[in-house]
Amino acid sequence: MAAAPSGSRTRMVTLISKGGRNFKMPEAVALVSSRSCREALDYIEYRGNNTMMIKLLDIDPKPVSMLVNFCNHMAAAATSAASDDAAQRMREWEERFLGDDVDQALLYDLLSAAISIQADGLIDLVCKRVAHMIKGKTPQEIRTILGIQDDLTPDQRDEIRTDNSWIDI
Amino acid sequence: MSPPDPIEPVSPPPPPAMDFALPSAVVATILSRLDVRSLLLASAACRCLRSCASHALSFLPAFHLLEVALTHDLLRPLMPRNPSLRSLRLDCARLEDAAVGCLARPGLHELTLLNCDNLSGRLLRELSATCQDLRVLSLNSVAERRDLAMGFSDLEALLGGCSNLESLSLALDFSKFDDPNFGHVWSSASEGLSSLEIGYIPLSMLLTLLTVAIESKRSMDCIKAPVFFPSLQKLYLSVDFITDHLIESISTALPSLTHLDLQDAPILEPTSESDLTNAGLQQINLRGKLKHISLIRSLEFLSTSFRRVNDLGILLMSEKCSHLESICLGGFSRVTDTGFRAIIHSCSGLHKLRVSHGSHLTDLVFHDIGATSLCLTHVSLRWCNLLTNVGIERLSCNKDLNVLDLRDCKSLGDEAVRALSCLPRLHILLLDGTDITNQALKYLGLGTCPLVSLSLRGCRNLTNDCIPLLFSGSIKQSLQVLDLSRIPSLTDDAIMLIARSRTPLTELRLRENPKIGDASVMALASMQFDGAIYGSTLQLLDLYDCCGITPLAMRWFKKPYFPRLRWLGLTGSLNRIMVDALVRSRPFLHMSCGGEELGTAYWDSSSDWYRHDDDDSDGLDGEPVSDSDTITED
């Protein structure tokens, strides 16, 4: 595993978004949050003080900055003691993090960014959020919310209805 | 289906189509976070979601479907091979032995199966062979059907095979497992077993088991002697008689117990050798480790009580009970205020207090409860006829009260409710058979309790006017369960007022109300929420013995009305043909025509308690069996 450098500078990991914007996070944070970083950093033998750079060139700056923000917060929370209060505060923070200003497009971009570096914590959070949006809704409502077209054939629709006769579809 | 939604004049940009924005593996992951019903509804949205849903079914970690009893044919396609499945909860009312393969899955850690009447002992054998990683197992009414066999060898197999069990709940009659080896077989049970619940066990079998366990403990041969229940902390069971000998044996055999829940229902008057006395009660908490004690004598068969226990026994018991968090005393008719006060003042950590048939319990018990540091959250005082408004006023200084059951306390009236109406955390309030009038509901309407469940069964002084008073305030936002049974002056007008108040009730009981008729059904059926869906968020509607209901009302139960109805109670003699037709058109609706209480969360009327509330930690998610927020549609 990574040994602390003898110099005073902490090593960073940089994510590069569309438009060449850079977002940095300490290596320790990246190791905790991202599976890809863990695997990559494990594999590289000599780094010296070089920063590892990850290119996410097809993702906008905003989701990438949110991703870095999330990773930093999770790493900080992991070090503090676990308690009911801490869990409650974490839930509240997550609510604010994915608040009303996060529209679906941003949500999907955030998910793509999280998948690119395999940030399991954020993937889980966003998946739960999207699932919550469609929980208990009828198929038509789901189509409206998710912006999808109905492309089922009548045969397929009938099949679904008979297979699940106990729900009114 | 209909064409895409028309473009709105001024609107935010339409959401990006999820099926194009995200890879299908991610969509499947999202779907795997849904409950089963939502997952299937999503699968009907488009081709992409359909195939992702089908993929998701093969890696769901939990499959919970308790609100409907599916047949094997309907269940099988929903449960493909799934090595990630860890938790399974099903209602097996329509499953037979052929379905056991679907139920006993390798890799399961948690299994809860309800209504296993049509499954035989083969289920237990299959579980022992296939589900060896099982940690939590809960089965009820296995092999109840007459032609099905279940015996000792099945229990033996289960205990031996599932060697990682931590919690075992078998809500069945253990006399089926009677065998000379019954006691010894428990030494092969999982060493980590910490919680054991038994439906009913004959006292003789239980005493034999405990004797074997005690002898084994005392045996000199420490290496070869079998070990019984090394980790058992929680024990819940029913016997025929609770006796001193039983208490003593339990205390000796199971020294690490923290939760003890015993219930009996005598059919004969217990003799002095086979009853609980003060001496026995002293043995109950010898090491002072118990956190939860429940001793109930049910009056189901005979009008009897723990006659040989009085204040002295309770006083001596309470001396060792400083760690007690929950106590439940049912049928202690000789205990007076002295005894109950002793408990309140000795048990500083008490959160749950339940007393039933406390015929000598008066207001004095709560007289100086404000001076203690007690923080009661669940209080049940049933059939305590000497309790008056003053006592409740004192009790209401416990601001954390969450559940309050005051059923059949005939001397309670409006002033008691006034005292309760500002409790900020009160979610469940039961006032059946009390002496309240409309004024009490006015207090509730003006108050600030976030009530979720309110029961006013048998409050004969109430009239139609109580409804607008009740729904005048914030209760509309929280109330889900309402019981207005046995209120003779309640008419259809009251129900129409409820419908107009647009309170999204999930359960409404109107049993035995002579003036409730078809107009009520119509009013409830036509409730609309959020525009689109017809009628009623109602999942349970009980109209048993409402004289005004005629066969004309039946058409209001057909689709599309009452889309979420799961339980319906009607009087059986109502046009049999129409009832049968309804049952055919809505096969997954539980219909009750014989007057049985509906629903799974109903306060168990036979034993007058609901047990194991320690398990529902918020106390509030008291619908323990179904996934919350699921649409139930037929």
Measured between its terminal Cα atoms, the distance across chain A in Å is: 53
Give yes or no for B74 touching A (CB within 8 A).
yes
Q: Which of residues 521-540 of B touch A (CB under 8 A)?
A: 533
Q: Say whether pLDDT at B601 is over 70.
A: no
CB contact under 8 A, B41 and A138: yes
Return the number of other C-beta atoms located less than 10 Å from residue B606's C-beta.
10
Q: Which tens digit of pLDDT belongs to each residue from B534-550?
A: 557 888 999 999 888 88
Q: What pLDDT is stored for residue B9 in this prediction?
A: 52
Q: Is the ipTM of this complex over 0.90?
A: no
Residue B55: which pLDDT band, with cuts at 50, 70 and 90? very high
d(CA B535, CA A40): 57
Residue B534 confidence (pLDDT) = 54
CB atoms within 10 A of CB B398: 22
Q: Which of A48-57, B157-166, B383-392, B504-513 has the lowest mean pLDDT?
A: A48-57
Mean pLDDT of B301-305: 88
Residue pLDDT, tens place only, B142-191: 998 888 999 999 999 999 999 999 999 999 999 999 999 999 999 999 99
**Subunit contact A140:B2, Cβ cutoff 8 A:** yes
Q: Which helix (H) or strand (E) holds B209?
A: helix B203-218
**Torsion sign, CA atoms A20, A23, A24, A29:** negative
Tell me how far apart the alpha carbons of residues B48 and B18 are, in angstroms, rounded to a whole number: 10
Name the residue in chain A with its Cα closest to that of B47. A152
Q: DSSP per residue over B342-382, as a string?
A: HHHHH-TT--EEEEES-TT--GGGGTTGGGS-----EEEEE
Do the bridges between strand A22-26 and strand A12-16 make them parallel or antiparallel, or are there none, so unpaired? antiparallel
Residues B291/B326, Cβ–Cβ less than 8 Å = yes
Q: B interface mutation test: which of A130, A132, A160, A163 has the most B CBs within 10 A?
A: A130
What separation in angstroms does the CA of B618 have from each of B65, B339, B396, B613? 21, 29, 20, 9
Q: Please state, in angstroms and rounded to a whole number, the distance separating the CA atoms of residues A147 and B504.
A: 29
Q: What percent of chain B has pLDDT over 90?
A: 65
Question: How many CB atoms are located within 10 Å of the residue B120 CB?
Answer: 20
Structure tokens at B187: 């030494």
- The answer to whether residue A3 scores a pLDDT higher than 70 is no
Interface test with B, best of A124, A138, A158 (most B CBs within 10 A): A138
Q: Can you tell me which residue has the tokens 């004024």?
A: B439
Specify whether the CB–CB gap between B72 and B99 falls below 8 A. Answer: yes
Answer whether B416's CB lies under 8 Å from B393's CB.
yes
How far apart CA B455 and CA B428 sit, in angstroms, is 8
B365: left (phi over 0), alpha (psi -120 to 50) or beta: alpha
User: Minimal Cα–Cα distance from B629 to chain A, Å?
Assistant: 7
Q: Identify which of B38, B70, B533 has the shortest CB distance to residue A166.
A: B70
Q: How many CA atoms lie within 13 A of B3 on its CB side?
A: 2
Asked whether the beta carbons of B465 and B441 are under 8 A apart, the reply is: no
Q: Is residue B244's pLDDT more than 90? A: yes
Helix A139-146 vs helix A120-134: angle between axes, to the nearest 10 degrees? Answer: 130
Mean pLDDT (chain B, rounded): 87
Q: Is the pLDDT of residue B315 over 50?
A: yes
How far B102 CA lies from chain A's nearest CA (Å)?
17
Whether residue B150 contacts residue B176, with contact meaning beta carbons closer than 8 Å, is answered with: yes
- Higher model confidence: residue B392 or residue B549? B392
How many angstroms from the chain centroid is the CA of residue B269? 30
Global confidence as pTM: 0.84
Runs of H (alpha helix) within B434-491: 438-446, 466-470, 475-478
Contact B409, B381 (CB under 8 A): yes
Q: Cα(B98)–Cα(B234) distance, rounded to whole angstroms? A: 34
Task: Identify any residues that bridge with B297 across adjacent strands, giving them in sequence order.
Answer: B264
| B345-386 per-position pLDDT tens digit | 999 899 999 999 989 999 999 998 988 889 999 999 999 999
**Which site among A111, A129, A132, A164 would you substitute to test the B interface, given the most B Cβ atoms closer than 10 Å to its Cβ?**
A164
- The confidence score (pLDDT) of residue B479 equals 93
Given phi > 0 = left and psi -120 to 50 = alpha, else beta, which region is B612? left
What DSSP character marks residue B227? P
Domain ranges of chain B: 24-60, 61-198
pLDDT band at B17 (very low <50, low <70, confident <90, very high): confident
B177 φ/ψ sector (left φ>0, alpha ψ -120 to 50, else beta): alpha
In this prediction, residues B1-15 reach a mean pLDDT of 56
Closest to B63 in 3D by CA, of B126, B109, B26: B109
The CATH number of B61-198, from 3.40.50.1000, 3.40.50.300, 1.10.260.40, 3.80.10.10, is: 3.80.10.10
Of all residues in chain B, the percent with pLDDT exceeding 70 is 91
Opening angle at CA B317, ends B325 and B357, nearest 5: 75
Q: How many residues does chain B have?
A: 634
Closest by CA to A140, choosing from A159, A108, A168, is A168
CA distance A10 to chain B (A): 34
Q: CB-CB: which of B17, B43, B631 is closest to A146?
A: B17
Chain A: residues touching B (Cβ < 8 Å):
103-105, 108, 111-112, 115, 123, 127-128, 130-131, 134-140, 142-152, 156-157, 160-161, 163-169
Q: Are B520 and B547 in contact (CB under 8 A)?
A: no
pLDDT band at B573 (very low <50, low <70, confident <90, very high): confident
Q: HEC states along B388-410?
A: CHHHHHHHCCCCCCCEEECCCCC
Instruction: Give the nearest partner residue to B34 out of A135, A144, A152, using CB atoms.
Output: A135
The 10s digit of each residue's pLDDT in A103-133 is 888 888 888 888 888 888 889 899 999 998 8
Beta strands in B22-86 (DSSP E): 62-65
- Give the tokens for residue B406: 């005051």
Residues 6+ apart with CB under 8 A from A158: none
| Closest residue of chain A to B35, computed from CA coordinates | A135
- Is B200 a residue whose pLDDT tops 60? yes
Out of B29, B47, B633, name the one closest to residue A151 (CB). Answer: B47
Q: For the beta carbon of residue B205, count every other beta carbon within 10 angstroms.
A: 18
